[in-house]
């Protein structure tokens, strides 16, 4: 039933009782590949998942400076500076002193400064000192807000505040000659 190899076998198994690997034969590999049903493509996933693009300012961390980018930011520490990202979450222990620009903003902590966002949600533990410009605003009972609130839809004049700022123009040197062009109505 069992074949036992000899421990002092001098064959190609090197005395370990392990048979040599079989060599492939030309008859073993088929010349025509079997046809398999084509595999359906996997459903596409979002390019950036929430966990891969989330940056966190941890509790106990104090940061001074501006933060901008295309990702998401979780603030559990203290930040003095402006924020410009896609999504911002300010935790219960988090505080921001500066302007916050975001598509989606959730506040459980403190913000001292202007807020410009498409969607703003103030939770019961939120404390806001500053003006809010938004498309949608949700305030839970218990949240504290002191400032002005302006709803800016896409078709109103204040809606351009929700978009990213235009790049600044280059300053013109004092001795540079500038040409003025006036538009005249067609006759």
What is the per-residue pLDDT across 22-59, written as a single tens digit (0 to 9) for each? 666 655 555 555 555 555 554 444 444 444 688 899 99
Mean pLDDT of 57-66: 93
For the cut 80, the answer to whether the pLDDT of residue 5 exceeds it is no
DSSP reduced 3-state for 76: coil
Mean pLDDT score of the chain: 75
The pLDDT score that the predictor gives to residue 93 is 95
* Confidence (pTM): 0.58
pLDDT (average), residues 57-78: 93
Q: What pLDDT was estimated at residue 62?
A: 94
Quote the CA–CA distance of 95 and 83 in Å, as a whole number.
12
* pLDDT score for 120: 96
Q: Would you state the structure tokens that stand for residue 123, as one six-digit string?
A: 């939770």
CA dist., res. 15 & res. 12, Å (int):
8
Q: Whole-angstrom Cα distance, residue 6 to residue 8?
A: 5
Do 82 and 101 meet the contact criterion of CB atoms below 8 Å apart? yes
Does the pLDDT value for residue 148 go beyond 90?
yes
Over residues 96-146, the pLDDT tens digits come to 999 999 999 999 999 999 999 999 999 999 999 999 999 999 999 999 999
């Amino acid at each position: 039933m069992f074949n036992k190899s000899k421990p002092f076998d001098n064959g190609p198994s090197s005395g370990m009782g392990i048979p040599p690997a079989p060599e492939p034969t030309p008859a073993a590999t088929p010349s025509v590949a079997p046809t398999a049903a084509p595999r359906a493509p996997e459903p596409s996933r979002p390019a950036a998942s929430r966990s891969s693009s989330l940056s966190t300012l941890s509790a106990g961390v104090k940061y001074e400076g501006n933060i901008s980018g295309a990702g998401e930011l979780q603030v559990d520490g203290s930040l003095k500076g402006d924020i410009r990202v896609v999504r911002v979450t300010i935790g219960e222990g988090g505080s921001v002193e500066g302007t916050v620009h975001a598509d989606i903003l959730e506040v459980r902590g403190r913000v001292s400064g202007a807020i410009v966002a498409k969607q703003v949600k103030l939770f019961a533990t939120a404390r806001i000192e500053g003006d809010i410009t938004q498309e949608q605003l949700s305030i839970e009972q218990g949240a504290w807000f002191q400032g002005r609130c302006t709803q800016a839809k896409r078709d109103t004049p204040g809606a351009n505040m929700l978009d990213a700022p235009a790049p600044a123009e280059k300053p013109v040197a004092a001795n540079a000659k500038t040409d003025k062009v006036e538009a005249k109505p067609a006759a």
